[in-house]
Structure 1
Amino acid sequence: MKLTRRFLLAAAPTTFFLPKAFAAGGMLAPRLMGNPDAKVKVHEWFSLTCYHCARFQKETFPRVKAELIDTGRIAYYFHEFPLDQVALLGSMLALSLPNDRYIPFCEALLSSLDRWAFARDVDPVQQLRQMAALAGISGTEFDRINADNKLRQMIVDTQDRDQKRYHIEGTPYFRFNTIEYKAELRSYDDFLKEVKKAEA
């Protein structure tokens, strides 16, 4: 999808680090999973309403996590790149969660796009409210986050900066160290090839 991933509190534990900028208070710093000292650093820009991102999360990312992230071979950074207002609210909610709930929340949204974002006669905002509650965000907190136009604008500004810097044309968009990959990564083998190129 041109310019068009990540179940909640019960998710399995994983190695998850805070980048220094986030630890210092930078809420919008990309979340990091894996070994921060790994030779290969993979960056993914994703939108929570992108079917291609959802497919990658469902079909490829589990093996990437098991064989490359959990083994310490790569560091994996997640960047918000919302492509519509619903995805933007999802990003605002995700970034407001504690670090250990960020990826499970994104996974839950991406794995159920057809039910909460695109189903007929469904209000995506109300669906987000229900899923956020499962992640520990109360109704009052949901309303506060939804009304936080400063956070909303900060995400959009970060997205605009990244788009101009890397010429991002669609999601998911990847960088393997300094090597960009714009096509859709359809398999683990394709992903591994890019890791090996970055290792060379």
Structure 2
Amino acid sequence: MTRAFIISAVLALQSSLATAAEPDAAIQGVIDTLILPWAGDAVLTEAINAQNVTTADYNEARILELDQVWRAEVGTGGSDLVDSVLTSTAADFLRSQVVSSDGALTEIFIMDQHGLNVAASNPTSDYWQGDEAKFQKTYSVGPDAVHVSEIEFDESSQSYQAQVSITLTDSNGAPIGALTVGINAELIM
């Protein structure tokens, strides 16, 4: 993809992102051109499916405990939990999508059925996304759900961005998790 194409696609979002409502044609165009071509890649769905097996029996107490561990250890180096999210094949794949976007994408992460991080291009501020709109307005809503945030400063990516989140599905179309992609706001302001 050329930088000019990416910039024109992202610029099409400018008026739409301010409302953070249902995606309109411009947002859908960005989703279709910058996200969907790789969003269903097997490396991502396999990682989510594997984690869904591991976390199937997690209750709220376990989820909150892991979120606290993440918050205490992110940025310190050498944490098994943080490393599992940032050093996997799926994380490498997500980083390659950020790099190939020529600055249009600031971060990407995928979540399991509970909203727990599975893989991320760079560290997130918390491990559990399940209490946030990016997860609640996608995975819980169904296979075609899309959520677009307002433009905000994101601590984890250290940039102004809008986040586009979508539900990820298995080969039968059943929701298995969610994907969040940060879009560089400097390109759309």
TM-score (norm. length: structure 1)? 0.28
TM-score (norm. length: structure 2)? 0.29
Greater helix proportion: 1
Greater strand proportion: 2
